[in-house]
Amino acid sequence: MRIIRTVAGVRAAVAESRSRGEIVGLVPTMGAFHEGHLSLIRQARAQSGLVVVSLFVNPTQFGANEDLSAYPRDEERDAELAREAGADVLFAPAVDEVYPDGFATTIHISGITEVLCGAVRGPQHFDGVATVVAKLFGIVAPDAAYFGQKDAQQIVVVRRLVRDLDIPVRIVACPIVREADGLAMSSRNVYLDAEARAQATGLNRALTAAEAAVAAGVTEGKAVLKAAMAELTASGIVPEYLELRSPDDLLPVDVVEGPTLLAVAARVGRARLIDNRMLEA
């Protein structure tokens, strides 16, 4: 595996691979790898001739009072894990390589960035996501890009980006990877002390309770949310949001009839955690 820090270097590696007729897969990350990230790399490895993993803590998607400075970073560890999972290239640029002096372009996607995490963190969060992902797609020009389903809203945003700008990349959503107790794996889980770590498992229990309610024939949205909220309350968790949304356009859902995204976010201890479950009557 090569560690490359420049746009020119990555483009040269991709050009070399394409000259051999290989499929190029991209796994965009902010590092602090866990099994969720590694599952994306392994899936890319299974489907690609060249696997590029980007490692870039993107400053433009963090708000003024968020955890940019504290976000966990350990490039040496991440590089070894990426190598073991099958990456060919680790693209680890400096901030000024991605955003050179005078950079003045922002991509805003209307309608789907103002809800859920956008309503809490501000729509500028997804402006930062869309802009950096568009840059990565322009730099790497992958055939496919791999994202974790835990960031469900991000996947909707990226798919809209690709559709609206006619970017020829296939977006692959990979299943959420969970700890043995059901907590969705997240780089921010390192912020949790033992008490908060136990409390955080209430997020998955809430999703499971809603899923069980739907399986038992409950389809009215308020009743489904009530089942989930009962578990959150029992765990002492006050959600930032707990909502039913269409998985395609994030419009509100009042009745669970077809595939429906149940999304939750909450602050537990020092960590802001998100999770979701796809429900279907």
Inter-CA distances, 84 with 17, 25, 77, 79, 174, Å: 20, 16, 11, 9, 19
pLDDT in tens, 59-112: 999 998 899 999 999 999 999 999 999 999 999 999 999 999 999 999 999 999
Mean pLDDT of the chain: 97
Task: Note the pLDDT tens digit of each residue in 175-216.
Answer: 999 999 999 999 999 999 999 999 999 999 999 999 999 999
So what's the pLDDT on residue 64?
Answer: 87
Q: Where residue 133 falls among pLDDT bands split at 50, 70, 90? A: very high
% of the chain exceeding 70 in pLDDT? 100
**Average pLDDT value for residue range 35-50:** 98
Task: Give the residue-averaged pLDDT of 113-117.
Answer: 98
Phi/psi of residue 106, each to 5°? -135, 140
125 annotated active-site? no
Closest to 78 (Cα-Cα) out of 31, 146, 147 = 31
Q: Could you give the CA distance from residue 22 to residue 44 in angstroms, rounded to a whole number?
A: 13
pLDDT for res 67: 93
pLDDT category, 6, cuts 50, 70, 90?
A: very high
Q: Over 90: is that where the pLDDT of 126 sits?
A: yes
As given in the structure block, the two tokens for residue 144 are 């496919």
CB burial string 142-176: b at 16+ within 10 A, e below: bbbbbbbbbbbbbbbbbebbbeeeebebebbbbeb
pLDDT at 65: 84
Say if pTM beats, i.e. exceeds, 0.95. Answer: yes
Which of the residues 34, 37, 108, 125 is marked catalytic?
A: 37
Q: What is the pLDDT of residue 154?
A: 98
User: Average pLDDT of 42-51?
Assistant: 98
